Amino acid sequence: MKIIIATAVATVLGATVAMAGATKPQDVAFEDGAVAVSVSGTAGDAAVGREVFANRRLGNCLACHVNSDMPELSFHGEVGPPLDGAADRWSEAELRGLVANSKQTFEDTIMPGFYIDTGYFRPLDDFAGIPILNAQQVEDVVAYLLTLKE
């Protein structure tokens, strides 16, 4: 129980802090596809990141990637490579870059940029001018990806 409350508080705090120190999508600095510093200004929470990863309205990463760490969920997509061992293949900065805007790493990829708010056409009104994930969610997903080791 205590742990759960602690996590929840941390999440709320994280979100608040994120607002203050977050880097706007257009200000994110990419270097060879990688992003060195946290876009939210705080560390990510891997447990929350795991939720964001699976959630169809947020990351929905499972739509395109097999992830053996989530056997409890059915229907893992196969459009992209399995993410097992992703942390063995990529550094934290590279993973942050891949989540924020994978086109900086794989030009022409089908994988959406999760932290961009311009450069896409005809977005539905509810999604116009905002990124798919907010800064803290990006960091949470990155923290989660860093746990995917083989």
Partner 1 sequence: MGMYLLKTTAFAAGLALMAGSVAQADEGATLVINEELTIATTAKAPAHLENIDEITSGWIYRTKETQALQMDDFDNPAFVFVDIALDLWNEVDGTEGKSCASCHTDGPEEFAGLTATMPRIDKDGNLETLTEVVNRERVEKMGAKPWKYSKTNMASMTALIGLQSRGMPVNVAIDGAAAPFWERGKELYYTRVGQLDISCSNCHEDNYGVMIRADHLSQGQINGFPTYRLKNAKMNTTHGRFKGCMKNIRAVPYKEGGEEFKAIELYLASRGNGLTVETPSVRN
Instruction: List contacts with partner 1 (CB under 8 A).
Output: 56, 60, 62-64, 66, 68, 71, 74-82, 106-110, 112-113, 116, 119-128, 130, 132
Is 87:95 a contact under the CB 8 Å cutoff?
A: yes
Query: CB of residue 72 vs ligand HEC: minimum separation in angstroms?
Result: 18
Q: Give me the phi and psi of 85, to 5 degrees please.
A: 75, 20
How many residues would you count in the chain? 150
Count of positions on this chain that bind ligand HEC (CB under 6 A): 24
Tell me the CA distances in angstroms from 106 to 5, 80, 97, 101, one per residue in order.
Answer: 39, 12, 11, 9
124 interacts with, out of partner 1, ligand HEC, none, CB within 5 to 8 A per kind:
partner 1
Query: CB of residue 109 vs ligand HEC: minimum separation in angstroms?
Result: 3
